[in-house]
Structure 1
C-alpha cells in the first residue's frame, strides 16, 4: 500500500514512521530507508523546527540509525527540533548479521540537494517552501569514529542485544587511537565500556587484518578516571591499610575498572553483574581475568542486602556503575532503586569506617539529581562531587565518617591524570 504523505502534515508527538522508497539518485534497484520521528517534547506547533540527517554510508545497520531508540536519542540531543528525518541506504540481504566495515567519508553537498524534494514532502504543511529551503538543515552525524568493525553480536538475558566492536577514533586533530567497545541495543548511542587496544605490529594501522593487544593500564572511558579519583577520600595510604584494600564494584560492563583496581592499585576486587553474558564478554574481549576479580552473577541490590549482615565482609570502597534507560529521557544513572533508603543503608554498612561510596551519576534532569543528593545526605556523613566535564556524568562520593583531605589515599601507581585533573576537581557539596 502506498504511503500517504499527508500523514506528515502535522507534528504528532512520539510518532515514528519508517519506510523504503526507490533511490532517486541511483539507476540501480537500490532503495532508500527513510525514518520520520516527531519529538515527544511539545514545541511551538505553529512553527515547528525540522532537521534532516543523512545516515553515514556503511553504518545503516548500526542500531543508532536502524532503531527507534537510536533515532530518538539523536533527536533529543538536537535542541528544539520537532521532527527529525533520517535518510540512508536500505540494508539488503543479511547485512544486519554481517555488518560491513565502516570508514568515515565526507558528505557531498549535491547529495543533500538532490534529496531536498523528499524533505519538503515530509515536512509539516505549516512550513512554506521558502522556509524549508532556509530553515531545514541537513545535519552530519559526528562521533569521532573514523572506522569500525563488529567483532561479535551477542544477547544477554537481562541487557538484551549487545555488540562488541573495534573502532578507530579521532582523539584530537591528527591524533587517533584504536579501541574496543561494548554497546547495548536498548541504548545504542551510549558506549557502555571501552578500552584501548594496540596493534601487535608497529606497521599495522588498520582495523582489518591487524592483531591487537589490550591496554589495561589506562582508563579511557570518560568517567572511570574520576571514579578512581574518588579513592582520594578513603583517607589512608595504601601501605597503611591492614592487608590489601578491598573494592566492591556493582556493574561490571567490560571490566576495565575492575582490572585497573587490581593491576594498577593492588586492590582485592569483588564484582557484581546481573547478566552472565556480560561477564562472558568481559572475560573474552576486554581482558577481565578470573584472577583479577571475583565476580558474583546476581542483582546488585540483593547482593548488598545479603552481605551487609556479614560482619566479616567489609570494603574500603563501593563503586556503582549502573544505568537505566527511559524511552523519553534517555539514559540515567544510577537506577532509581538505588535511591531507596534501605539500599543506601546497606551500602553504608558494607563499608569500613574510612570507606567511601563512589557512584556514577547521569541525571536525566535537575530534580532527579537534587533528590539523589538529598537521599545520600540522610545516610552518609559527607558528600562530594566531581563534574566529569562531558555534559553528562557526575561522580558522587559519599563518606561514612568525616574526612581530613590532607591525608588522602594515594598510591604511586595512580595515573597523573587522575591526581592532577580530577582530585583537584573534588568539591564538597
Structure 2
C-alpha cells in the first residue's frame, strides 16, 4: 500500500509507521524507515529528528520494535517525531543478533545523509521549514558496547520475551570490562540487570573474548549498574539508625520490589549485612536470576507476586508475607500467626511502567497512588526510607511525581544518577535535622568503601 505523504503534515500522538525503500548507495539493499510521533504534546512548532541505526544492530529490539523506538524518542528532549533509518535485516528477524561487534559508522552515515534529505523533507510537517530553510538534525546514538553475545532467550508469563547477554564495554582503565545483562523486549533500551563477570581461573583478561571458549562467573560483591549504586548510597541518610540496630544485635531489613537479576538484593545481603526480601512478578525472571546472575548463591528470600498488591496487602496489617529461600511460593500472604515482623528499614523500588507512552518509564503510575504510598509508609520502621528509581521523559512529570510523595512523606531527597535518564528519589518517614553530617560509624564506613563516594556526597534535599 502506497504511503500518503500528506498524512505526515500533522503530528498524530503515538503514530508508528515503518516501511522499506531502496538504498540510495547500494541498489541491491533495502533500508528500513520507521517514523514515530511523540505521545506527549510538546509544542505548536514540532521538531523532527532522524537517527541512523548502527550497522549490524538493526535486529536489536532497541531499533526494531516500537517500544524501543519510543524510548529513543523520549530520551531526545523536544523531539516530536523521530525518523529511524537502518539496513533492512536480511532474514527479517526482529530479535537481537546472536553476536555483535562494534564498527565505525561515520562513513556509512555520511554516504546516506545527503541522499535521504528529500525523504526527511517528505516525512516532516511543512511548519518545520523556517525562513526558507529546512533542517532535520541527525541524532547520534552512542553507547559503550564493544561486543555482545546472546546466551539465552526466554519468555516470562508477565514480562514477555527476555534475553541474557554477555557484553564487553568500553573501560576508563586499561583493564577490560565484561558484564552480563538482562533485557526485556517490552523495554529493550533499559538494562534490567547488569553485573560484572570474570573469566574462570587460569585465564587472563588479555586473552579472553566474549563468546569464546572461556566461561565467565558472576561477581556479586560489587554494583556496576548505574542507578543501583546511588540507590544503595541512599542508606547513608539512615546510617546511624542502622548502626544502632546492628549494635543491638539486629539485622536491618530491606524489601526490594522488583528483583530482576537480583544484583541489588545480593549486594545488600552480602556486603551490607541486610536481611533481604524480594518480590518479583514473573517466576521465569527468578529462574534466570538464579541460573545466570548468582541470586541463588546469596540465599535471598523471594516471593512471586505483584509488588504493588503485595505492599497494599501488607500495609493492611491483616496479612503477612510467606517469603521462602531458594524456592518460589506463589501464595505470599499468610495469617499473622507466623509472627513475621513486617516493618522494613528500607523499601527499594525498581519497577518499570510496562508502557512508557505516558512519559514515565519508571515507576508504574499505579505505585504512586496515594493509598499505595500510605501502605508503603505504614510498613517502614520509624526511621525508614522509601527509595525509588525514576525515569521520566519530562521535568513536569517528575515534578508531579515529587508532589505526590510530598503529600505522604515529610522529607524528600534525590540523587541525579548523571546519565541523563535516572533519578533516585528518597522519601523519609521521619525528618532528621542533619542527615548528611552524621559522624562516621562502621556501617557508613563500610558503605563508603563498597560504593562510589560521589553519590554519597551528592544527595540533595528537595
8 Å contact from structure 1 (residues 148, 167) kept in 2: yes
Any idea what the Cα deviations from partners look like across 1:37-93, whole Å, max 9, x if unmatched? Answer: 344455777x76443332112111101110122222223333444443322222233
Shift of the 119–38 alpha-carbon distance from structure 1 to 2, 3 Å rule, reads farther
Following TM superposition, by how much is the alpha carbon of 1:230 offset from its aligned partner in structure 2, in angstroms? 1.8
For 2:43 and 2:431, how far apart are their aligned partners in 1?
50
For 1:408 and 1:397, how far apart are their aligned partners in 2?
21
Matched, 1:151 2:148: no
Aligned to 2:273: 266
Structure 1 residues 182-221: aligned runs within 5 Å: 182-200=182-200, 201-202=203-204, 203-209=206-212, 210-221=214-225
Following TM superposition, by how much is the alpha carbon of 1:181 offset from its aligned partner in structure 2, in angstroms? 1.2
Aligned to 2:61: 63
For 1:275 and 1:173, how far apart are their aligned partners in 2?
37
For 1:410 and 1:85, how far apart are their aligned partners in 2?
53
Within the candidate set 249, 252, 255, 2:262 is matched to 255
For 2:387 and 2:43, how far apart are their aligned partners in 1?
41
Shift of the 338–75 alpha-carbon distance from structure 1 to 2, 3 Å rule, reads closer
8 Å contact from structure 1 (residues 196, 216) kept in 2: yes
Aligned to 2:326: none
For structure 1, the residue ranges without an aligned partner over 5 or more in a row are none
Aligned to 1:15: 15
Matched, 1:233 2:255: no
Aligned to 1:165: 165
Aligned to 2:86: 88
Within the candidate set 301, 309, 318, 2:308 is matched to 301
Aligned to 1:244: 251
8 Å contact from structure 1 (residues 85, 119) kept in 2: no
Alignment partner of 1:414: what SS? Answer: helix
8 Å contact from structure 2 (residues 269, 298) kept in 1: no
Structure 1 residues 12-411: aligned runs within 5 Å: 12-26=12-26, 28=28, 30-41=29-40, 49-93=47-91, 95-96=93-94, 99-109=97-107, 112-114=110-112, 116-123=114-121, 124=124, 126=126, 135-172=135-172, 176-200=176-200, 201-202=203-204, 203-209=206-212, 210-234=214-238, 235-237=241-243, 239-289=246-296, 291-308=298-315, 309=317, 312-313=340-341, 314-403=343-432, 405=435, 406=438, 410-411=442-443
Following TM superposition, by how much is the alpha carbon of 1:13 offset from its aligned partner in structure 2, in angstroms? 4.8
For 1:382 and 1:371, how far apart are their aligned partners in 2?
16
TM-score, normalised relative to structure 2: 0.81
Following TM superposition, by how much is the alpha carbon of 1:364 offset from its aligned partner in structure 2, in angstroms? 4.1
For 2:40 and 2:266, how far apart are their aligned partners in 1?
41
Within the candidate set 402, 414, 421, 2:454 is matched to 421
Shift of the 32–131 alpha-carbon distance from structure 1 to 2, 3 Å rule, reads farther
TM-score, normalised relative to structure 1: 0.87
Following TM superposition, by how much is the alpha carbon of 1:142 offset from its aligned partner in structure 2, in angstroms? 0.8
Alignment partner of 1:117: what SS? Answer: coil
Count of paired positions: 426
8 Å contact from structure 1 (residues 232, 410) kept in 2: no
For 1:331 and 1:420, how far apart are their aligned partners in 2?
29
Larger displacement relative to structure 2 (211-220 or 68-77)? 68-77
* RMSD of Structure 2 on Structure 1 (CA): 3.2
Shift of the 97–373 alpha-carbon distance from structure 1 to 2, 3 Å rule, reads closer
Alignment partner of 1:178: what SS? Answer: strand
8 Å contact from structure 1 (residues 112, 138) kept in 2: no
Shift of the 221–111 alpha-carbon distance from structure 1 to 2, 3 Å rule, reads closer
8 Å contact from structure 2 (residues 280, 307) kept in 1: yes
For 2:407 and 2:389, how far apart are their aligned partners in 1?
19
Alignment partner of 2:181: what SS? Answer: strand
Following TM superposition, by how much is the alpha carbon of 1:329 offset from its aligned partner in structure 2, in angstroms? 4.4
